[in-house]
């Protein structure tokens, strides 16, 4: 089953079929990347991803695939569909396929401990991306989610000024490290303004449709709302949709991730005022570059920060482009 190009073949595949054939590979590369598991001696990477149910994760995969191709490596891909049990099974399947290094985007950093332990027992190094695990990974490639929340919070607090008001926070996933950190950073940024009152809304799981449903209730129970902060732009755009439907163009909106639709809204000088860069393509590329370095025996930092930056009305026009997310210009 090794070395067969199956890109795009997962469309429409059922969960049961995905369990039995959960991986895809890039076009097989040459000998540049040093491993010995590929049919031609190339590096073979197993990429276990948490989900594909968000534009961010689709782009993260694309960045990883592109970097694997550039490195002359094969990449087997598995989508856990948000199910930690499925992810542990996927990791075991990838180990069985004799991958050289595992790249893991955890559904639940603690819940995938059995998969990480299985990789360790098999002598397969693990690199995590986007979400770290408590132990067992050689390196983690991600971004400082507290810093993202803080950047956006500072900008929103500046916009609200001394008048402050009620700010609704639409949260990501219950118990998730990303949601926790983006909330903590935001709260830290606005806590100096006593005029700002944060109403913590429900968890909308980073999904726009869930944020729409949540906001329809929140706007009724909080008619005095002056701003909405969501843990990603997809949810923020869902909130913006509801605000517009209710004629509330006076309510400011901010998110995280640099989704191009949000960047364009900021550039239009509308009520959307800020987001923070989280370029998933660059993140996927850097994660695979780290995998290649690990396979080559190079010394890598245990935590690699891919960096972020504020996008607001002052610079949004510079980031507008054809991509799904704004690209890091650094």
Residue 27's pLDDT band, with cuts at 50, 70 and 90, is very low
Per-residue pLDDT band at 39 (split at 50, 70, 90): low
Which of 142, 128, 19 shows the shortest CA–CA distance to 83? 19
Q: How confident is the model at residue 175 (pLDDT cuts 50, 70, 90)?
A: confident
pLDDT in tens, 232-280: 999 999 999 999 999 999 999 999 999 999 999 999 988 999 999 999 9
Intrachain domains 15-143+280-299 and 145-277+311-319 with the same fold: yes
Average pLDDT in the 109-127 region?
97
Query: What tokens appear for 226 in the block?
Result: 């002056």
Task: Name, in order, each residue with C-beta under 8 angstroms of 131's C-beta and a sequence gap of 6 or more.
Answer: 50, 105, 106, 109, 142, 176, 177, 178
Residue 17 has what pLDDT?
A: 35
pLDDT band at 6 (very low <50, low <70, confident <90, very high): very low
pLDDT, tens digit, 9 for 90 and up, residues 178-213:
899 999 999 999 998 999 999 999 999 999 999 999
Domain-by-domain residue ranges, the chain?
A: 15-143+280-299, 145-277+311-319
More confident residue, 143 or 31: 143
Q: What is the mean pLDDT of the chain?
A: 89
Average pLDDT over residues 160-173: 96
Q: With 50 as the cut, is the pLDDT of residue 25 above it?
A: no
Q: What is the largest CA-CA distance in the chain?
A: 65
Q: What is the model's pLDDT at position 29?
A: 36
Give the count of alpha carbons within 13 A of 96, CB side only: 11
Residue 134 tokens, joined: 């408590």
Domain spanning 15-143+280-299, CATH architecture: 3-Layer(aba) Sandwich (3.40)
Looking at domain 145-277+311-319, its CATH superfamily turns out to be Response regulator (3.40.50.2300)
Q: What are phi and psi for residue 47, nearest 5 degrees?
A: -115, 110
Using DSSP, state whether 17 is helix, strand or coil.
helix
pLDDT at 40: 62
Whole-angstrom distance, CA of residue 179 vs CA of residue 170: 10
> What's the alpha-carbon Rg for the chain, to the nearest Å?
21
């Amino acid at each position: 089953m090794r070395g067969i190009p199956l890109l795009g073949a997962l469309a429409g595949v059922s969960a049961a079929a995905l369990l039995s054939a959960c991986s895809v590979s890039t076009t097989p590369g040459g000998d540049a990347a040093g491993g010995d598991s590929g049919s031609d001696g190339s590096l073979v990477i197993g990429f276990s991803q948490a989900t594909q149910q968000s534009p961010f994760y689709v782009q993260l995969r694309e960045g990883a695939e592109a970097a694997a191709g550039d490195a002359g490596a094969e990449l087997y891909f598995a989508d856990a569909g948000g199910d930690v049990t499925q992810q542990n099974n996927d990791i075991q399947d990838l180990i069985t396929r004799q991958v050289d290094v595992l790249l893991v985007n955890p559904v639940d950093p603690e819940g995938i401990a059995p998969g990480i332990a299985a990789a360790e027992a098999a002598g397969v190094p693990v690199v995590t991306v986007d979400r770290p695990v408590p132990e067992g990974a050689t390196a983690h490639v991600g971004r400082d989610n507290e810093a993202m929340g803080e950047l956006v919070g500072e900008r929103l607090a500046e916009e609200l000024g001394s008048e402050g008001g009620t700010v609704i926070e639409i949260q990501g996933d219950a118990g998730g490290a990303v949601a926790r950190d983006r909330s903590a950073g935001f709260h830290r940024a606005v806590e100096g303004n006593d005029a700002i009152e944060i109403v913590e809304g429900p968890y909308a799981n980073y999904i726009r449709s869930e944020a729409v449903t949540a906001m329809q209730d929140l706007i009724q129970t909080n008619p005095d709302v002056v701003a909405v902060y969501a843990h990603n732009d997809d949810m923020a755009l869902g909130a913006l949709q509801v605000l517009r439907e209710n004629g509330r163009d006076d309510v400011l909106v901010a998110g995280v991730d640099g989704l191009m639709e949000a960047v364009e809204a900021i550039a239009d000088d509308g009520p959307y005022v800020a987001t923070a860069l989280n370029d998933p393509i660059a993140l996927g590329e850097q994660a695979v570059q780290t995998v290649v370095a690990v396979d080559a025996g190079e010394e890598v930092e245990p935590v690699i920060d891919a960096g972020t930056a504020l996008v607001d009305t002052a610079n949004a026009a510079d980031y507008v482009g054809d991509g799904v997310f704004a690209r890091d210009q650094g």
